A = this chain, B = another copy of it.
Amino acid sequence: MNVSDIGEFGLIERLANAVGASQPADLIVSIGDDAAAWRVDDAVELATTDTLVEGVHFLPGRTPWADLGWKALAVNVSDIAAMGGLPQYALVTLALPPETPVQAVDELYEGLGECGREYGVAVAGGDVVRAPLVVISVALLGRAEADARGRPRLMRRDAARAGYAVALTGTLGGSAAGLRRLKEGAPPDDPLARAHLRPRPPLAAARRAAELGVPCAIDISDGLLQDLGHVCGMSGLGAVLRAAALPVRLELRDAYPDDALALACTGGEDYELLFVAPRQTLEALGPEITVIGEMVEDAERRARLVDGSGEEIRLPAAGWDHLRP
């Protein structure tokens, strides 16, 4: 049996089982959420890590180095935002072929620095190693606040309840459409390509959501249906999303009308956020978010997309698994 047979999520489960036997008392959130969380005195520290591999997560030669630096940090900011936290310190690991031009690395650092300034993150350390291909791994540390009773304000994947509404920041499908455009030869300043190369996690909205008491959130990294599926699995529920309510990105509808819905639901990498909470809590967040469905009782624990008559719409692929073909 190879790792491609059990996939990324099967492997993560095995890791949790192998090392999860004795968890320290200060550890609040361990393997399986957007970030880990533990107490440090009265504060709550958050930590997450994400990696971009040449040829797997970015197109060699067609991804500007500065964009790569931006994205390597931004995808981690997205994870801290999805927990309701404030990102603070990054450790950056660069694996590089020795023949990489120094200019390329300078540009990568430049993009990383831009993203850091945008989100208030300081690069505090890292590691540089030799490798036959480029791999960028960022570990990002942050913190969460506590409420008046000292409980950490964390948005967790296991905190959805039946009847809660599901809402989304921003629009869907821009990143997947941008990747397709880049593969078709579009320049990196094409608007859809920008959405793919420079994702902008909605940190401010996430912070407001955590403050308002939104109990559950996840970021759209692997695809809407798959990511919401993690909330379903960990909360023991199903979800129903109305296709007509999805805020599919307009340029995507124009560029690829036939595939727009599939790209929006399964393309991934939009790095928008799903908030799951009582409807009135979500309404307090204002018009920036769109309610797209709700959590329901469901023994299968699945996220389903339905049409106007409530029939399920089946899409070609569920989402992105890092180890499956």
A234 at the interface (CB under 8 A from B): no
Tell me, in angstroms, the Cα distance from A124 to B15 when the chains sit together: 10
Tell whether, in the assembled complex, residue A11 and residue B94 are in contact, meaning their CB atoms are under 8 Å apart: yes
On whether A12 and B126 interact (CB within 8 A), knowing A102-B5, A110-B18, the answer reads yes
User: Would you give the 0/1 interface string for A49-65, flagging 1 where the beta carbon is closer than 8 Å to chain B?
Assistant: 11101011100000000
Tell whether, in the assembled complex, residue A49 and residue B322 are in contact, meaning their CB atoms are under 8 Å apart: no
Copies in the complex: 2
CB < 8 Å neighbour of A40 from B8, B41, B101: B41
Tell whether, in the assembled complex, residue A131 and residue B135 are in contact, meaning their CB atoms are under 8 Å apart: yes
CB < 8 Å neighbour of A20 from B49, B123, B141: B123
Tell me, in angstroms, the Cα distance from A126 to B32 when the chains sit together: 9
Tell whether, in the assembled complex, residue B45 and residue A101 are in contact, meaning their CB atoms are under 8 Å apart: no
Tell me, in angstroms, the Cα distance from A214 to B101 when the chains sit together: 41
Tell whether, in the assembled complex, residue B131 and residue A15 are in contact, meaning their CB atoms are under 8 Å apart: no
Q: Within the complex, what minimum Cβ distance (angstroms) separates A76 from chain B?
A: 10
Residues on B with beta carbons closer than 8 Å to the beta carbon of A130: 53, 56, 322-323
A175 at the interface (CB under 8 A from B): no
A167 at the interface (CB under 8 A from B): no
User: Would you give the 0/1 interface string for A194-225, flagging 1 where the beta carbon is closer than 8 Å to chain B?
Assistant: 00000000000000000000000000000000
Tell whether, in the assembled complex, residue B126 and residue A96 are in contact, meaning their CB atoms are under 8 Å apart: no
Tell whether, in the assembled complex, residue A98 and residue B324 are in contact, meaning their CB atoms are under 8 Å apart: yes
Tell me, in angstroms, the Cα distance from A134 to B309 when the chains sit together: 48
CB < 8 Å neighbour of A15 from B31, B43, B101, B123: B123
Tell whether, in the assembled complex, residue A131 and residue B53 are in contact, meaning their CB atoms are under 8 Å apart: yes
On whether A125 and B36 interact (CB within 8 A), knowing A15-B109, A109-B15, the answer reads yes
Q: Within the complex, what minimum Cβ distance (angstroms) separates A170 from chain B?
A: 24
Which partner residue on chain B sits nearest A12 by CB separation?
B128
A143 at the interface (CB under 8 A from B): yes
A231 at the interface (CB under 8 A from B): no
CB < 8 Å neighbour of A27 from B35, B56, B122: B122
Tell me, in angstroms, the Cα distance from A113 to B103 when the chains sit together: 40
User: Would you give the 0/1 interface string for A1-36, flagging 1 where the beta carbon is closer than 8 Å to chain B?
Assistant: 111111010011011001111111001011101011
Tell whether, in the assembled complex, residue B3 and residue A53 are in contact, meaning their CB atoms are under 8 Å apart: no
Say which one of A84-92, A157-165, A280-288 lies at the interface with B: A84-92
Tell whether, in the assembled complex, residue A128 and residue B8 are in contact, meaning their CB atoms are under 8 Å apart: yes
Tell whether, in the assembled complex, residue A15 and residue B56 are in contact, meaning their CB atoms are under 8 Å apart: no
A112 at the interface (CB under 8 A from B): yes
6 smallest CB-CB distances across A and B, nearest first, come from A139-B139, A36-B124, A4-B98, A18-B109, A36-B125, A19-B123
Q: Beyond the given A15-B126, A45-B141, could you list 16 further A-B residue pairs with CB under 8 A, ordered by the A residue number?
A: A2-B98, A2-B99, A3-B98, A3-B99, A6-B102, A12-B128, A15-B92, A18-B112, A19-B113, A24-B122, A27-B122, A31-B126, A49-B125, A51-B93, A57-B129, A93-B137
